[in-house]
Structure 1
Amino acid sequence: MRTTPVLKRALPVLAVLGATVAAPAPALAAGPADGFASVNALGQNGTTGGAGGTTVTATTTAQFLDYIARPEPLTVQVRGTIALPTGTTDGMHPVASDKTIIGLGSDARLSGGGLNIGLPVDDDVTTPPANAVHNIIIRNLSITGATDDLINVQMFSHHIWIDHNDFSNGDDGAVDIKRGSDFVTVSWNRFHDHDKTLLLGHDDDNAAQDVGRLRVTYHHNHFDGSDQRNPRVRFGESVHVYNNYYRDNSYGVASAMNAGVVLEGNYFHSVNNPGRVDFSGDLGRMVQRDNILVDCNHAIETRGTVVEPRTYYPYTPHRAAEVPTVVPAGAGVGKIREGRS
C-alpha cells in the first residue's frame, strides 16, 4: 500500500487532461435526468419514469407494493412511512419498468426493506434481454433499515435515476448496481450511518456481463461518514464521479478490474484513501482533476486513460471549493425546488 504524509491543507489537484472547469451550475437540480441516465440508448430516450401515466399516492404497504409492480407507467407518490416486510424475499421488493417513485414533503420514508430493480439473476444471460427493467426514477425518499440492500439494480437494468434521497442503516449495500446494468445516474443523495455504500460490479469473475456496461454518473452526493465503497467499481467505463462531498470515510473511490473512472471536482475531508486503483483484483484506471483533499492520509492514485464522460453527455461542474457548501445544502430529502434545472 502506498504511504504518504497526512495532507494537512487543502490541495487542489489540477486538470490532467487539459480540461477547464466551467462556471458553477445551479445548486438544486429539479430535472430532467442528467448524467448517464439522460443518454439515448438501448431504445430508451433518456429517463422519464412514469411520465405519461397516472399519478397515484401510496399511504400503506399494500398500496405501495401493488403500484410499484404494475406493468403500466405510473408516478407513485409516497406519503408518510411505508414499512416494507421481509417475507420470503429478504425484504427486497421488485420495481417494474416505467415508474417514478417520489416522496411527498420531507418525511416520506421506506423502512425495513429495499427496492429491487431488475430481473432474477441468471449468469447465462450475457446480453441485454428485451424485457430488461428500465426507465425508473426514485426521488425524495428516506430509505433505511433494510435487511439487505436499500436499492439493488441488476440484470441489465438501464436508464435509472436515483436522486435527492437519504440512505442509512442497510445491512448490505445502500445502492448496488451490477450484472450488466447501464445508463444510471445517482445524484444529490445523502449517505450516512452506513458501511458498504455503493457497489458497482459485484464480482471479479463477472466480465461477461459487465465489460462495456456499468456506465454510471455519481454527482453531488454527500458521503456523510459512510465508511467505504463510495463507490467500489469493477469493469465499468466510463464511471463519472464528480462534485461529491466526502467527509470522514475510510475510502472514497476504488477502481479495479480495469474499470475506468473519471474523478472530478470532489472535496475529500478526513478520508483515509480518497481514490485507489491498487485495491483488490486486477488494477483499475482512474483519471482525476480539480479535486481537493483536506486532512487525508493518502493522495489519489491514478493510472491510464479513461473515456471522457463528455463523449456521452454535457455537464457543467461546480468548482471543488464550492462543494462543501453546495452539496450539504442541496443533497437529500426536502431539497427539490421545482422550476430550477
Structure 2
Amino acid sequence: RRTLPAGDGWASATTGTTGGAAADAAHVYTVTTWDGLKAAFAAGGTAPKIIKVRGTLDADGDTCADFSAAGYDFDQYLAAYDPAVWGYDENLEGEKATPGTQEYLRDRSAAAQAEAIKADVPANTTLIGVGKGAGIVGGSLQINGVDNVIVRGLTLESPLDCFPQWDPTDGDTGNWNSEYDSAVVHNATHVWLDHNTFTDGEHPDATLPSYYGRIFQQHDGELDVVKGADYVTASWNAFEDHDKTLMIGNSDSAGATDEGRLRVTLHHNLFRNLVERAPRVRFGQVDAYNNAYVATTEYAYSFGIGYKSQLVAEKNSFTLPKGVSAASVLYRWNDSPVTTAGNVVNGAATDLVAAYNAAHADTPLTSGAGWTPTLRTHVDPARTVAEVVGRGAGADRLR
C-alpha cells in the first residue's frame, strides 16, 4: 500500500500518486497467470485495487504459430517483398489493404498477437510483484487514458514481435519495424514506475536473424511515455540489454496533445548495456538526475534532444568503454536547449554540452532548458551514483 512520497518527481504533483492504496479487501488480488492478471484488471471498475503478481506470467503463448492467420507464410512473405523484386520506392500499405496478400495476412496475424499480449491497466491500481521472480514475459502493459497507477517490483521481459513489418522506404535500404513495448504510458496521468527490471531476457538483439540485409527487429521500446501522458515518475528501475529503450513523446507533430505535458522525472535508474533512447525526449519537461549509465561498445547515445524538448540532466554517472567519447552522451535531433550540470563520465566531472559541441561544431547544442526542477527528494553526489544505483535499482532490490 505504499504511495509515492510527496515531492518525489512529477508524479507527486497536484493530486499525487496513490495507486490502489485505499483498496478494500474485496479488491486485493493475487494472480499467477496472464489471463488471471487481465481478469483482475477488468474486475471492480475504477475502484482502488491492489494486484499482486506471484511468479512469472507468460503472455505470448508457446510459438508465433499461435497467432498466425490462415495462409500466412513467412517464406512467401520474404519472396513477395524481396527488394530485388519489390524495390525500395513503394511501401506496403496497399498490400496491407488487399485481402489475400502476405502483407494483409501478416497484419491480421499481428492483430491477433496484439489482442493476446496487451493488457489495459485501470485507474487507481497498484500492480506489484511479490516473492522471488515476479514478472511478465512477452506482455505489454497499456496504461492508457487513466489516472493514478503504480507499477513496482516486476521483471518485464520485452515482447517479441512475431510479425515485424518490412518497410522498403524506411531509410536507403529499408527496415524491419516492430510493435509492443513492455509498458506504455499513453494519455495517462500520475503514474509511478518503481523498482522494475526491463530486459530483453532470453531474446537479445544479438540472437535475432537478418533478412534483406537488415536485422529482423522484433523489439520496440522497453518503456514509452507518449500522446499526452503527464506527471510520471520512474525511479530505481533497471533498463537492460536493449536498443531503443525509453521514448518520451512519439512525434514532432503531436504538439496539440503533448505541449505542456510529458512531464517526467527519471531518478536512480540503471541504464545498462543499451544502445539509445535513455531517454529520447520531445516537448516534455523531463528531469533526469542521479541515474547510472553503463555502456558497451554498441552504445550510440543516452539523451536524445528532440523537438521542443526541455530536458534537465543533472548529477548522473556514465561509465563508457574505451573508444566511446563523452561527446556521445547527447544526440541532437533538434536544437532544443538542454541543462546538464554536475555529471561525471568515468569518474571525472564533465560538461556534457561542451563535450558534444567540441565534437559537433556545425550542429551545436544550447545550454539552459529554461526551467528548474523542484520535485526532488534526496539527491546523491554524482560520484556516488554508480555505486548507489547499482546496489539499489531493479525488481530484486525492492524492499
Provide the TM-score with structure 1 as the length reference: 0.79
Q: Contact 1:55–1:74 (CA<8 Å) still a contact in 2?
A: yes
Q: Flag structure 2 segments of 5+ consecutive residues without an equivalent.
A: 61-66, 68-111, 161-179, 201-217, 357-364
Counterpart for residue 235 of structure 1:
283
Looking at structure 2, the residues matched to 323 and 331 of structure 1 have their Cα atoms a distance apart, in angstroms, of 11
Superposition misfits of 4+ residues, deviation over 6 angstroms: 295-298
Indicate yes or no: 2:140 matched with 1:114: yes
Query: Deviation of residue 303 (structure 1)?
Result: 2.5
Query: Deviation of residue 68 (structure 1)?
Result: 2.0
Counterpart for residue 256 of structure 1:
306
1:117-174 per-residue CA deviation (whole Å, 9 max, x = no partner) reads 11xxxxxxxxxxxxx31100000000003131000111x2100001100101181111
Counterpart for residue 46 of structure 1:
16
Looking at structure 2, the residues matched to 145 and 110 of structure 1 have their Cα atoms a distance apart, in angstroms, of 9
**Would you say how many aligned residue pairs link Structure 1 and Structure 2?**
285
Q: Contact 1:256–1:285 (CA<8 Å) still a contact in 2?
A: no
Matched residue type, 1:138? V
1:268-287 per-residue CA deviation (whole Å, 9 max, x = no partner) reads 111654543x622x322211
Matched residue type, 2:11? A
Selected match of 1:69 from 42, 49, 61: 42
Q: Contact 2:183–2:223 (CA<8 Å) still a contact in 1?
A: yes
Indicate yes or no: 2:147 matched with 1:137: no
Matched residue type, 2:339? V
Looking at structure 1, the residues matched to 384 and 132 of structure 2 have their Cα atoms a distance apart, in angstroms, of 25
Query: Deviation of residue 109 (structure 1)?
Result: 1.4
Query: Deviation of residue 63 (structure 1)?
Result: 1.3
Looking at structure 1, the residues matched to 377 and 302 of structure 2 have their Cα atoms a distance apart, in angstroms, of 22
Matched residue type, 1:265? K
1:50-84 per-residue CA deviation (whole Å, 9 max, x = no partner) reads 11113210012221111123322211000001111
Looking at structure 1, the residues matched to 190 and 158 of structure 2 have their Cα atoms a distance apart, in angstroms, of 26
1:245-291 per-residue CA deviation (whole Å, 9 max, x = no partner) reads 00113211112212111111100111654543x622x3222111110
Selected match of 2:4 from 22, 32, 50: 32
Query: Deviation of residue 106 (structure 1)?
Result: 3.2
SS of aligned partner of 1:251: coil
Indicate yes or no: 2:105 matched with 1:80: no
Q: Contact 2:3–2:19 (CA<8 Å) still a contact in 1?
A: no
Looking at structure 2, the residues matched to 74 and 133 of structure 1 have their Cα atoms a distance apart, in angstroms, of 14
Relative to structure 1, is the Cα distance of residues 52 and 31 closer, same or farther in structure 2, using a 3 angstrom cutoff? closer
Counterpart for residue 18 of structure 1:
none
Counterpart for residue 324 of structure 1:
386
SS of aligned partner of 2:35: helix
Looking at structure 1, the residues matched to 159 and 338 of structure 2 have their Cα atoms a distance apart, in angstroms, of 32
SS of aligned partner of 2:384: helix
SS of aligned partner of 2:396: coil
Tell me which moved more, 161-170 or 228-237: 161-170
Indicate yes or no: 2:224 matched with 1:172: no
Relative to structure 1, is the Cα distance of residues 304 and 324 closer, same or farther in structure 2, using a 3 angstrom cutoff? closer
Q: Contact 1:158–1:182 (CA<8 Å) still a contact in 2?
A: yes
Indicate yes or no: 2:353 matched with 1:305: no
Q: Contact 2:120–2:142 (CA<8 Å) still a contact in 1?
A: yes
Matched residue type, 1:306? G
Q: Flag structure 1 segments of 5+ consecutive residues without an equivalent.
A: 1-29, 119-131
Selected match of 2:190 from 136, 151, 159: 159
SS of aligned partner of 1:318: coil
Looking at structure 1, the residues matched to 396 and 131 of structure 2 have their Cα atoms a distance apart, in angstroms, of 6
Q: Contact 2:239–2:270 (CA<8 Å) still a contact in 1?
A: yes
Q: Contact 2:123–2:146 (CA<8 Å) still a contact in 1?
A: yes
Selected match of 1:294 from 329, 334, 346: 346
Tell me which moved more, 159-168 or 248-257: 248-257
Selected match of 2:377 from 294, 301, 315: 315
Q: Contact 2:157–2:182 (CA<8 Å) still a contact in 1?
A: yes
Provide the TM-score with structure 2 as the length reference: 0.68
CA RMSD of aligned residues (A): 2.1
Looking at structure 1, the residues matched to 382 and 376 of structure 2 have their Cα atoms a distance apart, in angstroms, of 18
SS of aligned partner of 1:50: coil
Query: Deviation of residue 336 (structure 1)?
Result: 2.1
Counterpart for residue 98 of structure 1:
124
Relative to structure 1, is the Cα distance of residues 267 and 295 closer, same or farther in structure 2, using a 3 angstrom cutoff? closer
Indicate yes or no: 2:182 matched with 1:150: yes
